[in-house]
Amino acid sequence: MDLASDVYVGIRELLEAHGRPAREVYLDSENSGMIFPEALKAMVDAYEDHFAGHPSITHRRGWESYEALYKTSSTIAKFINCEPDELAFTHSGTEANNLAILGLNKESERKKIIVSAIEHLSVIFPAEQLEKQGYRVIKVPVDREGFVNLEFLINNVDKDTLLVSVGAVNHEIGTIQDLRAIVESVKDKDENIIFHTDACDALGRISLDVKKLNVDMASFSSHKVCGPKGAGALYIRDGVKIEPIIHGQLSTQKLWPGLENVPAIAGFGKAVELFASNFDLYVNHMKELRDLLIQGILSNVEHTLLNGPLGNKRSPDNVNVSVLYCEGEALTVDLSLNGIYVSSGSACTSRILQPSHVLLAIGREFHEAHGSILMKVAPLHSHEDVRYVVENVPRVVQRLRSISPLKPKEVG
């Protein structure tokens, strides 16, 4: 039996049965985002016109590719206030997080890693890999809105601590940490501790100045800023010692060997350029859509819980709601049939049908976490998109609850 072939046929049949809805609203930017037309054009131009060459090879096409890389480095560096050579390109935010943690100086006598309990799995899993090598990993608890317990964190910082990693903005529930206060508290206790932040969900959402924040490393992802998939970056403050975690022929990136995805990096640069030029406009637009979506769902669907904080403590793009007496996976399928694309919990955990570790960490019960849907708005969304979602979610929830064996009698 050819399993791969069988899966392909099954997917094709599924797609044909699903059909193409008359209207589609893509809200799953957590897992694979929409792309600015300008960023797509920059990527296509890179393939078609300019950047076919290898950026480390000494001929015209190679120099053109190198120029494209440097241009994106300069754009990102200006946006986050660092030097272009303090950025290392990877192919995703996951790779950037892995490089930051697994690339730590193994010669150090310090053997303690501290991460928050709600970090992305691309932070937690590498930390747990180091645990197998003799490191001690401490997970810092959070409150019911996802804010780090600073007292617990500081009490666990000591002379054995090598790294602290706290995401600036949580990827699932949108909690905006007071990162400056957290970094100051850690550095006040020991300035030699390396501080890393997963900033994939912070770039373009909050003001981000790595110098003022005094972080040593920060991870970024192209698709989180409406750029193409296949590009990420790690900021590494000059002087911080990091070693490569994969090995091969070097190109321009000393910490990430192999051929760079130059077209995706060119698109990444264009997306960041757009966010930098329109920061207030984009943030205010996303906040407005976010609040309309939250209010529309919570006021029209009974037995719902908002996960994460409200207002300015929440990322402008993030909506995460637990719909009680519904399975999150069923919600994603039924909403998909209506052209509304969302994720349930986090994609990393939903494939193995485990509730989100983030939602459990903020105190949600298993059934509350299982019934969660995550939506992210982007500058590309319109008010009409949000109205369409708000009109359709109640009907989908009502249908699923009508066939749910878990619903109490008072729920129709």
The amino acid sitting at 154 is I
How confident is the model at residue 13, as a pLDDT? 84
Give the contacts of 295 (CB within 8 A, at least 6 positions apart).
none
User: Largest Cα–Cα distance in the chain?
Assistant: 73
Q: Rounded CA gap, 218 and 213, in Å?
A: 11
Active site residue 226: no
Residue 238's CB is within 10 A of a number of other CB atoms, namely: 9
Q: Rounded CA gap, 336 and 26, in Å?
A: 9
Contact predicate 301/394, CB 8 Å: yes
Contact predicate 113/165, CB 8 Å: yes
221 three-class SS = strand
Contact predicate 154/329, CB 8 Å: no
In 103-178, which residue ranges form alpha helices assigned H by DSSP?
Answer: 121-131, 150-156
179 three-class SS = helix
Beta strands 112-116 and 161-165, pairing class: parallel
Residue reference for tokens 């991870």 = 219
In 81-223, which residue ranges form alpha helices assigned H by DSSP?
Answer: 93-102, 121-131, 150-156, 179-189, 210-213
Task: Identify the bridge partners of residue 115 per DSSP, sorted by sequence position.
Answer: 139, 165
How confident is the model at residue 3, as a pLDDT? 62
307: left (phi over 0), alpha (psi -120 to 50) or beta: beta
Give the tokens for residue 98: 């892995």
Residue reference for tokens 């003022």 = 212
How confident is the model at residue 346, as a pLDDT? 46
How confident is the model at residue 347, as a pLDDT? 46
Q: Rounded CA gap, 315 and 355, in Å?
A: 22
Q: Rounded CA gap, 185 and 289, in Å?
A: 35
Q: Which of 200, 226, 326, 348 is catalytic?
A: 348
How confident is the model at residue 209, as a pLDDT? 98
Q: Which residues of 313-349 are buried (b: 16+ CB within 10 A; e: fewer)?
A: ebbbbbbbbbbbbbbbbbbbebbbebbbbbbbbbebb
Residue 288's CB is within 10 A of a number of other CB atoms, namely: 14
How confident is the model at residue 403, as a pLDDT? 87
Contact predicate 117/165, CB 8 Å: no
Q: Of all residues in the chain, what percent are helix, strand and coil, respectively (each to 5)?
A: 45, 15, 40
Instruction: Average pLDDT across each block of 10 residues of the chain; the chain has 412 residues. List them in order.
Output: 68 84 92 94 88 83 91 98 97 97 92 98 97 96 98 98 98 98 98 98 98 98 96 97 91 90 96 98 98 98 96 97 92 95 68 81 92 96 98 96 75 59
217 three-class SS = strand
For the chain, the straight-line distance linking the first and the last C-alpha, in angstroms and rounded, comes to 45
Mind giving me the DSSP string for 257-316? -S---HHHHHHHHHHHHHHHHTHHHHHHHHHHHHHHHHHHHHHHSSSEEE-S--GGGB-T
